[in-house]
Structure 1
Amino acid sequence: MKAIGIILAGGNNNRMKELTAKRAVPALPVAGSFRSIDFALSSMSNSHIQTVAVLTQYNARSLNEHLSSSKWWNFGRKQGGLFLFTPTVTADNSDWYRGTADAMYQNIDFLKRRHEPYVIISSGDCVYKLDFNRVLDFHIEKKSDITVVCKDMMYNDDVSRFGVVRMDDESRITEFDEKPIEASSNTISTGIYVIRRRQLIELLEAAAEENRFDFVNDILVRYKNVKKIYGYKINSYWNNIADIDAYFKTNMDFLRPDIRSYFFREEPTICSKVDDLPPAKFNPGSDISNSLVSSGCIINGSVEDSVLFKQVFVGKNTTVKNCVLLNDVYIGDNVHLENCIVESRGTINPNTCYCGEDGVMIVKEKNVRYVI
């Protein structure tokens, strides 16, 4: 494909509370065996994009470990590959990434050294599948300066946390409001953009000269009446992990048969780093209904309408209902969990109860299994 990919994976999201205390949002586990960034990486790999740069910054250790080998997404090749860029102290600059545009500007040499004519930019905190070839064909057909991938949300959805756009009959974007107090449309930007590489370099250099650091506000919104910016609408599944409720809902969506079939069975599939773990074990007395149970789990109790990530242990006479249990969680006997997200490597002591009555409850217990 005649494009390179850039995945923006460095931001801090305070709305994720305890879940981002030790990891970046793109490293958050999704659907039992995946990370949030896997969906952007897989879409680029499946679209035959050979060169992808991931820009990391906040709490990047877990994300960097996940991306330590490019072979899982088929980027391990002589031409191209997977590149990780973190803020670097140089003779000319010692700043952290001050925004999405600044993150790309600090790595502008990477863009200048490439030969591909186009760049596809995506965030690392969205769950979706997308054929970028179709977006690029649309971009070329419209002779667009920038193409924004958009989606029509339901009218009862809160779109104030997204960029809201309005388009004319030719799909050209006429209005772009970033996180408006009152939205004038239900069409949002998904945070995926297509732009010519040389033009991106020019826009980034112009923004840097004026100390403007954000790609959306300082480029898209600023140039919406100057550049030809078009919107490419998708109608397939897309969700942004923007807060606790969105993260919980995204995982719960994978309990729906149509969503599981779309991501796990329909080609192209989603790729991720593979752990060599035994299959889940269901001991006598266990009762599982409408749940996603990952490899390495051992179940002795009741699990209903829940997503269990790798190596979760559920004790005897324990009930887990409408919960998301992250990796390596140990739940003792006679425990009741409902409407909860349990942080990874947590230990839930026997004879305890956690129930989220006014929304999703985050349970973060100290892991006492490895205390010396």
Structure 2
Amino acid sequence: MRALGIILAGGNNNKMRELSNKRAVAAMPVAGSFRSIDFALSSMANSHIQKVAVLTQYNARSLNEHLSSSKWWDFGRKHGGLFVFSPTVTSDNSWWYRGTADAISQNLTWLKNSHEPYVVIASGDGVYKLDFNKVLEYHIAKRADVTVVCTDSKEADTSRFGVLKMNEDCRIEEFEEKPMVSSSNVISTGIYVIRRRQLIEMIERSAQEDRYDFVKDILIRYKNLKRIYGYKINTYWSNIATVDSYYRTNMDFLKPEVRDYFFGQYPGIYSKIDDLPPAKYNPGCTVKNSLVSSGCIINGQVENSVLFKKVYVGNNCVIKNSIILNDVYLGDNTHIENCIVESRDTIRANSYHCGEDGIKIVVEKNERYAI
């Protein structure tokens, strides 16, 4: 494909509460065996984009470990590759990334040294499948300066998204970033296609004027000066940047049609593979409508839940409508309902956790092995 990819995965998000205390949002586990960033990386790999840069910053250790090899997404066997860029102190600059445009600006040399005519920019917190070739064909056919991939919001509250209005030709006439009240339910998915030279020119000008945000200082600022079009998708798309949306997205994977769309239909979603045994269901356990990952051992009752890798469920445990992240030990007679249990937690026997008003996040760091 005649494009390179940039994935913006460096932002901090307080709406994830305790879940983002030790990891970036792009590294959040999704659907049992995947990370949030896998969906953007897989879409780029399936679109034959060979050269991808991931811009990391906040709590990047877990994300950097996940991205330690490009082989899982098959980037750049001969040309291109997977590049991970974190803020770097140089003779000219010692700033952290001050915004999405500034993150690109600090890595502008990589863009200038590339030869692909187009750039696909995506965020690392979206769950979707998308053929970027079709977006690029649309971008070229419209002779657009920038193409914004958008969708109809299924949420009543659109205040955490960029909201846009298009004319009959799909040219964007209005673009508001995170408005309190909006008359439109068409939202930006955080995916953009732009010509590489055009992007370099816009980023350099923004840097000169001390403007750091890609949406506010480029898209919104240039909407009447440049040809900015919307490309609307009607397939599954979700953003996991709040606790409620993260919970809802994982629960969506309990629906057969969503599982079939992501895992049963070509092309697939790829991720870093752990060498784990298959899940083990011991006599007496019951599992209903749940997603159970490799390495799990189940002794109790699991219902309408997502269990990530290496979860141990003790005797007489009851887990309902919950998400249990990686490497959690649940002691005997534990009851978990409407909760998200943080990874590597050890929940003592006879514990009771239930989210009464919304989703409860359970964080316990007990000693797992007593002498």
CA distance in 2, matches of 1:160, 1:35: 25
Secondary structure of the corresponding residue to residue 73 of structure 1: coil
Residue 76 of structure 1 and its aligned partner are, at CA, apart by 4.4
Gaps of 5+ in 1: none
| Distance in structure 1 (CA, Å) of the matches to 2:219 and 2:199 | 11
Note the alpha carbon deviations across 1:245-298, whole angstroms, 9 max, x for none.
000000000000000000011000000000000000000110000000000000
Cross-structure match for 1:252: 251
Alpha-carbon distance in structure 2 between the residues aligned to 1:295 and 1:368: 24
Secondary structure of residue in 2 paired with 1:239: strand
Query: Which runs of structure 2 are paired with 1:322-333 in the superposition (5 Å)?
Result: 322-333=321-332
The one-letter amino acid of 2:20's match is T
Q: Which residue of structure 2 lines up, in the alignment, with residue 297 of structure 1?
A: 296
Q: Which residue of 1 aligns with 2:161?
A: 162
**Distance between the aligned counterparts of 1:179 and 1:351, measured in 2?**
44
* Cα distance between partner residues in 1 of 2:367 and 2:64: 26
Q: Which residue of 2 aligns with 1:307?
A: 306
Q: Which AA in structure 2 matches 1:56?
A: T
User: Secondary structure at the residue paired with 1:208?
Assistant: helix
Q: Which residue of 2 aligns with 1:271?
A: 270
3-state SS, counterpart of residue 283 of structure 2: coil
Alpha-carbon shift at residue 367 of structure 1 (Å): 4.0
Matching residue's letter, 1:121:
I
Return the letter of the residue paired with 2:361: I
Please give the alpha-carbon distance, in whole angstroms, between the structure 1 residues aligned to 2:369 and 2:177. 46
The CA distance in 1 between the partners of 2:267 and 2:156, in whole Å, is: 29
**Equivalent residues in 2 for 1:195-344, closer than 5 Å:** 195-344=194-343
Deviation digits for residues 59-83 of structure 1 (CA, Å, limit 9, x no counterpart): 0000000000100000141200000
Secondary structure, aligned partner of 1:7: strand
Give the Å deviation of 1:369.
1.8
TM-score, length-scaled by structure 2: 0.99
Distance 2:7 2:207 in 1: 20
Secondary structure of the corresponding residue to residue 134 of structure 1 = helix
Cα distance in 2 for partners of 1:56, 1:369 equals: 32
Following superposition, the deviation at residue 242 of structure 1 comes to 1.7
Tell me the C-alpha RMSD between the 2 structures. Answer: 0.9
Contact 2:348 2:366 in 1 (8 A): no
Could you say if the C-alpha distance between residues 165 and 371 of structure 1 is closer, same or farther in structure 2, counting changes exceeding 3 Å? farther
Match of 1:128 in 2: 128
CA drift of 1:159 comes to: 1.0
Contact 2:50 2:76 in 1 (8 A): no
In structure 1, what is the Cα distance between the partners aligned to 2:114 and 2:95? Answer: 24
User: CA offsets per residue over residues 106-130 of structure 1, 9 Å max, x none?
Assistant: 0000000000000000000000000
Residue 3 of structure 1, CA deviation: 0.2
Report the secondary structure of 1:188's partner residue.
strand
Alignment partners' CA distance in 2, 1:153 and 1:13: 20
SS at match of 2:231: strand
Q: For 2:72, what is the secondary structure of its paired residue?
A: helix
2:162 and 2:188 in contact (8 A); partners too? yes
Alignment of 1:38-57 (within 5 A): 38-57=38-57
The answer to whether the 8 A contact 2:51-2:76 is kept is: no
What is residue 20 of structure 1 aligned with on the other side? Answer: 20
Q: What secondary structure sits across from 1:62 in the alignment?
A: helix
2:282 maps to amino acid: N
- Which residue is 1:97 aligned to? 97
In the other structure, the counterpart of 1:368 is 367
Instruction: Measure, in 2, the Cα distance between the counterparts of 1:4 and 1:243.
Output: 29
SS of 1:316's partner is: coil
Determine the C-alpha separation between the residues in 2 that align with 1:76 and 1:315: 44
Query: When the two structures are superposed, what TM-score results if normalisation uses the length of structure 1?
Result: 0.99
Offset, 1:371:
7.6
Q: State the secondary structure of the residue aligned to 1:87.
A: coil
Whole-angstrom CA distance in 2 between matches of 1:367 and 1:110: 45
Matched AA of 2:44: M
1:345·1:367 contact (CA, 8 Å) conserved in 2?
no
In the alignment of these two chains, the number of paired residues is 371
Aligned identity (percent) is 71
| Runs of 5+ unmatched residues, structure 2 | none
Amino acid at match of 2:229: Y
Structure 1 Cα separation of the partners of residues 164 and 370 of structure 2: 52
Q: Could you tell me how far apart the structure 1 residues matched to 2:369 and 2:225 are?
A: 59
2:256 & 2:309 partners in 1: Cα distance? 20
Q: Which residue of 1 aligns with 2:145?
A: 145
**Is the CA contact (8 Å cut-off) linking 1:122 and 1:191 kept in structure 2?**
yes
Q: CA deviation at 1:157?
A: 2.3
Cα distance in 2 for residues equivalent to 1:367 and 1:302: 23
* Correspondence for 1:77: 77
CA distance in 2, matches of 1:66, 1:369: 25
Separation in 1, partners of 2:97, 2:313:
42
CA distance in 1, matches of 2:153, 2:96: 34
Render the CA deviation track for 1:85-134: whole Å, top value 9, x for unaligned. Answer: 00000000000000000000000000000000000000000000000000
- CA, structure 1 residues 371+87, in 2 after alignment: closer, same or farther (shift >3 Å)? farther
* Helix, strand or coil at the partner of 2:119: strand
- Confirm or deny: 8 A CA contact 1:281 1:299 kept in the other structure: yes
Q: In 1, Cα distance between the equivalents of 2:325 and 2:156?
A: 27
